[in-house]
Amino acid sequence: MKRILIVEDDQSIANLQKDYLELSGYSVKMVNSGSEGLRALKEEEFELVILDIMLPDMDGFEVLKTVREQDDIPVLLVSARAEEIYKINGLGLGADDYITKPFSSGELVARVGAHLKKFERMKERFGKGNEGSTIQIRGLEIQKDARRVFVNGNEVVLAQKEFELLLFLLQYPNRVFGKEELFERIWGMDAMSDASTVTVHIARIREKIEEIPSKPQYIGTVWGSGYRFMV
């Protein structure tokens, strides 16, 4: 049984989410603050986190940053704030999804299921059968099993989605992908159609792996079409 952690200070909303998730076969733990959420993640094993942004002690973005420093677990942000900047900030920090309140419990359960399946596929694709596999392109080295990236021998730290995006492009050298397709492939939720998130992530990857980000040697822009990994 998959275990879900809900970090939500509104008890009525948390209870509703818990009831629907449990009816769908999940085991659920609820906490009502960011610090309690981080403590629960250290002490217990969970497969996914549903994280509210507005929390009493620390906001969800702070919690997300801490989680991403140590874990790739899927994180779904929920918030009443629908502004694009909040979505871009959350997804840029490594959230797997951003759901705007109010939302239906059925939608929440569907998104939870979709992200759990996607996470399992990613683990199978880049985990089992790929132990010790390393990709080297010029000065760039990617250790798929350890999820580590080195540039000219120096390690750089990529957020979860940055790593997945880089690795995906690398697996299809010289093939051009549009922003919408990359968003669907990596985030798995084409309904959001928030392709600007891809642009933000590409820029951050370039800052970390390119000697001169404005003149990239790895991830190139094909104007009017999208991006490609250049070999």
User: Tell me: the pLDDT tens digits for 71-91?
Assistant: 778 899 998 888 888 888 888
d(CA 1, CA 47): 10
| Whole-model pTM over 0.85 | no
Output the six-digit token pair for 90: 């959350």
pLDDT at 129: 44
Candidates 201, 213, 158, 156; CA nearest to 177 is 201
For the stretch 139-184, pLDDT in tens is 999 998 888 999 999 999 998 889 999 999 988 888 888 888 898 8
CA distance 164 to 199: 14
| CA-angle at 47, arms to 145 and 198, nearest 5° | 65
- pLDDT confidence of 190, banded at 50, 70, 90? very low
